[in-house]
Structure 1
Amino acid sequence: MAGPTTQEPVKTQQKCIAIFALLCCFTILVVLIFSSVDIWGDDEDGITEENCSRDCRIVLVENIPEYLLLPVDGRPHLPLSVGFHTLLDQARRSVEVVSPAWDLNSWDMETPPSAAKQGQLLFQRLLSLKSRGVKLKIASSLTNSAELKILAAHNAEVHFVNMTALTRGGLRSSFIIVDRKHIYIGSADMNWRSLSKRKELGVVVYNCSCLALDLHRVFLFYWQLHERDYIPSIWSKRVTALYGKNDALELQLNTTDATAYVSTSPELFCPKDRTRDVDAIYQVIQSANRFIFISVTDYLPLVSRRFRGATVTRYWSPLDEAIREAVVLRGVRVRLLISFWKKTHPLTFNFATSLKSLCMQLQNCSLEVRFFSHREQKDDIQHGLNHNKYMVTDNAVYIGNHDWVGSDFAINAGVGLVVEMKNSLKEDGETILEHVKSAFERDWRSRYAKSLQGSKDHQGKYRNLQQVKIHEETKEENKWNSPLSL
């Protein structure tokens, strides 16, 4: 009887090696999946998509500097500082903050005490969260902030998002989440100027854990990027979107039926099912039937990137083309209110003139552009700056963190909130759409909104902002529509 051949031990050894290799591959795969994001230690306070609240209250919050004399529209708008303090009053367990700036606790000798007061009060309020047993978490791209160091010394957890390594951009996101139930989104950040010198607009949403849970997932996305220099290719389901433009959250806002969702940018920061900011804005423009009112600090449909030591600039068309289509093909009335300040790019006027020219010799075509300008102090380029970043139509509102500049959407991190009302605008003015529309029309009628005179003779002057002067109209009957002389 023949004994075992020498090939059998070899085959057995090969099988063992193969099994071991498969186990190693499986182990590596599991490690990759679960190390791409740290999903442990965060149970979302027991809130799930099934048990979260959809009966919500939304409030418009604004900061209007006391030296801006705006027409009274009769609708009470909650001051931004009051909105922030009211929001923090609700905190019982957690406060999560993302802000592009941390400059609340200003003790600069050149800063007027009255202007800095609100920022200092808010900073002290954040410090006091520790004594109330409330956990404070902050995601920031700032590496050397004195205020963040002080907050960290008072038990705040601070995670650093290295935007330079990730996108070569910046963190422009500005939002707050309290107890995964209440949220703020808007143009203001953790800067004393947002509470005193700059004109800001945002919304606070109360008792809306469904929406807050989705925004918390955006925060968790930033949180997991702590000190990373790359964006993982595999993410946990904990950071994927719950709602989007094709599957919006159905909810009650101030007893009115509505839908809402959160959008983000840039595209690299959009996990599965998360809607990009530019797609959210495009959807709101496309859904408008009668009017589109836009208020932004800067409007510039260009993307600039550094390539081999040189700056390459190209036309960025999505939003510019969407506006043109709405005006010309659908007959939607468009008003665009842009801030005029020391950092306004000269080409802004070229694009504004191009948009205005669409309606030349066209019936039922209405596109107006005005520049919001307050006489600035020489030592502060943000004195009276209209820092708003929103759009309102006859059926929806978009509140965001970005100006409508191509480069912002391409490389900078931001968030947006889209709210669409089921019953559109109400005559009683109770919806958030009517409140935002009222705020826009107030600014549009104000003495600070200047029309653009864009003849060909002025084109050469656009290249030098030092030659751009604001025409101060002295006649009382023309004080709301004095032109911007170029």
Structure 2
Amino acid sequence: MAGPATQEPLKTQQKCIAIFALLCCFAVLVVLIFSSVDIWGDDEDGITEENCSSDCSIALAENIPDDVFLPVDGRPHLPLSAAFHTLLDKAKHSVEVVSPVWALSPWDPEATPSTAKQGQLLFQRLLGLKSRGVKLKIASSLTNSAELKTLAAHNAEVHFVNMTALTRGGLHSSFWIVDRRHIYIGSADMDWRSLSKRKELGVVVYNCSCLALDLHRVFSFYWQLHERDYIPSIWSKRVTALYGKDAALELQLNNSEATAYVSTSPELFCAKDRTRDVDAIYQVIQSATTFIFISVTDYLPLLSRSFRGTSVTRYWSPIDEMITEAVVLRGVRVRLLISFWRKTHPLTFNFVTSLKSLCMQLHNCSLEVRFFSRKEKDDDIQHGLNHNKYMVTDNAVYIGNHDWVGSDFAINTGVGLVVNMKNSLKGLGVLEHFKAAFERDWRSRYVKSLQGHKDHHQGKNKNLHRVKINSQTKEENEQNDPLSL
């Protein structure tokens, strides 16, 4: 039997073993943390919440194809290509880009020298950033892009986000960050069509490092997913949102007091304190008092998922419910402008007809739906396509990357920008520009109204709803071929 003299060393040895085991566990935990995420995050160029700039300017940037003729309202128009080149002119240190498509230099036969020119110029300028000592960083889900390979060969850093493994969706985000001071968010892709053939709308915000810093944190989120097949449960504080719907950035925007914040999709990609796109849309709709104007390519409240060869589709109600509440309970006037093109889902007409029926026999109820339709040339389904994705109200604007389709918000990445003017009278310069762009499109020759009626078929398809797209006026009928479904 061991005496007191021998027990003491034994206890000491046991303590040493226990301490060593705890140190090993701690070391393993640290290794796991560092292996799951870059704990320090990306360098933010010394820009912090305390020293960033919130005295900013904003400009609406559009691409309107040369053969799309819209009413002139006399307002200044910033071409999208000019906006991109201005951002590159300002770049001194870094350009960070996220885009679902990289096709600025086309090889397909539908491209002509005139339509491809702007895309090729932009691509050459991106290639030239290396000679100016400007870092180009790109986050993409494309694995076999010739353009990304060329840019990487010219010193661009390209990180791959494996969306198939992460959400079974796609990287639909489209934004730029330049020097952590200037940003672009909008509908345009890095595609020659966005600079020539498609109708696009976005915003450029200059000298706004507070907002740019927050958008950079979204970029950092993507950046740290490089070639991962899972989303880490522990993240650096450098990807935590700085602003959101409940704590928006206070800023001066074109010399007017405003608030702003960045939202994202899907929920799985929302870092701590980041507002979801759907919640941002809800806040903008809920705060509207007189009107809500929405312009999107597709509107479809359905959520479709595929798993092991089986596709499941269900009704996705959030946005339908938001619009219903605004129109019926609060008497807010709603206009919904949707693109009519070859990829328009047939059920779109059923859903918007259902929305329009809300106002039947109700006073002070106004919900209008129209379709922007440009006659397609041959097999070119994107010619003149209205690719816009935004909403403007009497006091706020939301510019996003998503069409208002349930599946987009659920599984595809996207980024939105909410700008709320504190004094709607002083902020008319910002809001009126968006409102004017919407009303210009709304009254253009390419817009057709929705009229639903029952088609009394015999047999099992009896009482099936048919929908027609009819032109607004006799003059428009002469200018556009009527479309029917």
Q: TM-score range by the shorter chain?
A: over 0.9
Q: Is the 8 A contact 2:451 2:468 kept in 1?
A: no
- 1:182-240 CA deviation, whole Å, 9 max, x = no partner? 00000001000000000000000000000000000000000000000000000000000
Q: Is the 8 A contact 2:349 2:467 kept in 1?
A: no
- Pair 1:436-2:431 in alignment: no
Matching residue of 1:19: 19
Matching residue of 2:443: 445
Q: For residues 289 and 153 of structure 2, what CA distance do their matches in structure 1 show?
A: 52
Q: For residues 446 and 467 of structure 2, what CA distance do their matches in structure 1 show?
A: 15
Q: For residues 362 and 469 of structure 1, what CA distance do their matches in structure 2 show?
A: 24
Q: For residues 478 and 317 of structure 2, what CA distance do their matches in structure 1 show?
A: 35
Q: For residue 116 of structure 1, what is the amino acid of its counterpart?
A: A
Q: For residues 306 and 471 of structure 2, what CA distance do their matches in structure 1 show?
A: 40
Matching residue of 2:386: 386
Report the CA distance shift for 1:272/1:204 in structure 2 as closer, same or farther (over 3 A): same
User: What SS does the aligned partner of 2:455 have?
Assistant: helix
User: What SS does the aligned partner of 1:50 have?
Assistant: coil
Q: For residues 473 and 57 of structure 2, what CA distance do their matches in structure 1 show?
A: 43
Q: Is the 8 A contact 2:455 2:464 kept in 1?
A: no
- 1:47-77 CA deviation, whole Å, 9 max, x = no partner? 1100000000000000001111111111112
Q: For residues 462 and 433 of structure 1, what CA distance do their matches in structure 2 show?
A: 43
Q: Is the 8 A contact 1:450 1:482 kept in 2?
A: no
Q: For residues 256 and 451 of structure 1, what CA distance do their matches in structure 2 show?
A: 36
- 1:234-290 CA deviation, whole Å, 9 max, x = no partner? 000000000000000000000000000000010010110000000000110000000
- 1:9-50 CA deviation, whole Å, 9 max, x = no partner? 443333222212211221222223333322447331111100
Matching residue of 1:423: 423
**What is the CA-CA distance between 1:478 and the residue it aligns to?**
7.2
Q: Is the 8 A contact 1:473 1:479 kept in 2?
A: no
In the TM superposition, 1:161-310 aligns within 5 A as 161-310=161-310
Q: Is the 8 A contact 1:298 1:344 kept in 2?
A: yes
- Pair 1:132-2:132 in alignment: yes
User: What SS does the aligned partner of 1:343 have?
Assistant: coil
In the TM superposition, 1:273-422 aligns within 5 A as 273-422=273-422
Matching residue of 1:456: 454
Name the % identity: 84
**What is the CA-CA distance between 1:332 and the residue it aligns to?**
0.3
- 1:349-382 CA deviation, whole Å, 9 max, x = no partner? 0001000000000000000000110001122111
Q: Is the 8 A contact 1:447 1:482 kept in 2?
A: no
Unaligned 5+ segments in structure 1 are none
Q: For residues 478 and 59 of structure 2, what CA distance do their matches in structure 1 show?
A: 31
Q: Is the 8 A contact 1:300 1:404 kept in 2?
A: yes
**What is the CA-CA distance between 1:106 and the residue it aligns to?**
1.3
Q: For residues 268 and 440 of structure 1, what CA distance do their matches in structure 2 show?
A: 32
Aligned-residue Cα RMSD (Å) equals 2.3
Q: For residues 451 and 482 of structure 1, what CA distance do their matches in structure 2 show?
A: 14
Q: For residues 365 and 110 of structure 1, what CA distance do their matches in structure 2 show?
A: 45
Q: Is the 8 A contact 1:328 1:365 kept in 2?
A: yes
In the TM superposition, 1:28-43 aligns within 5 A as 28-40=28-40, 42-43=42-43
Q: Is the 8 A contact 1:293 1:440 kept in 2?
A: yes
Q: Is the 8 A contact 1:277 1:416 kept in 2?
A: yes
- 1:432-453 CA deviation, whole Å, 9 max, x = no partner? 2110110000000011111011
**What is the CA-CA distance between 1:483 and the residue it aligns to?**
7.5
Matching residue of 2:100: 100
Q: For residues 458 and 123 of structure 1, what CA distance do their matches in structure 2 show?
A: 55
Q: Is the 8 A contact 2:39 2:235 kept in 1?
A: no
Q: Is the 8 A contact 1:451 1:481 kept in 2?
A: no
Q: Is the 8 A contact 1:395 1:425 kept in 2?
A: no
Q: For residue 228 of structure 1, what is the amino acid of its counterpart?
A: R
Q: For residues 481 and 192 of structure 2, what CA distance do their matches in structure 1 show?
A: 31
**Aligned residue pair count:** 481
- 1:273-312 CA deviation, whole Å, 9 max, x = no partner? 0000000001100000000000000000110112443211
Q: Is the 8 A contact 2:452 2:468 kept in 1?
A: no
Q: For residues 353 and 111 of structure 1, what CA distance do their matches in structure 2 show?
A: 37
Report the CA distance shift for 1:324/1:458 in structure 2 as closer, same or farther (over 3 A): farther
Matching residue of 1:476: 475
Report the CA distance shift for 1:90/1:474 in structure 2 as closer, same or farther (over 3 A): same
**What is the CA-CA distance between 1:470 and the residue it aligns to?**
5.3
Report the CA distance shift for 1:72/1:259 in structure 2 as closer, same or farther (over 3 A): same
Q: Please, what TM-score do these two structures have when normalized by structure 2?
A: 0.95
In the TM superposition, 1:70-89 aligns within 5 A as 70-89=70-89
Q: For residues 13 and 328 of structure 1, what CA distance do their matches in structure 2 show?
A: 76
Report the CA distance shift for 1:176/1:478 in structure 2 as closer, same or farther (over 3 A): same
